[in-house]
Amino acid sequence: MPKLVRRTPRRRRHIKARIFGEGISDLECSVYDISDDGLMLISKLADKIPNTFNVRFNATSPNNGPCRVIWRSRSSIGAKFIR
């Protein structure tokens, strides 16, 4: 199996975040890992999260803002930050 080469390193995190967007309002999720390019989040409602959404960690986080889903499973999502 080929080794994945990532542009930016992932950092394991188990922090709470809030996501919101079209059709969802202020849904809590857990961020499993994060990089400068994107994140992996876990939510019981992952299948209900739209393909583009906003994430909020706290009021001053540089990673607050819009994301686009790259992949999804029943309980998790991989998303890229839209800059």
pLDDT of amino acid 47 = 87
Spell out the domain ranges in the chain.
11-81
More confident residue, 19 or 3: 19
Interatomic CA distance for residues 34 and 79, integer angstroms = 10
pLDDT in tens, 29-74: 999 999 989 999 999 889 889 999 999 988 777 778 899 999 999 8
**Looking at the domain that runs over 11-81, which CATH code has it been given?**
2.40.10.220
| pTM of the model as a whole | 0.79
CA 17 to chain centre: 9
pLDDT band for position 1 (cuts 50, 70, 90) = very low
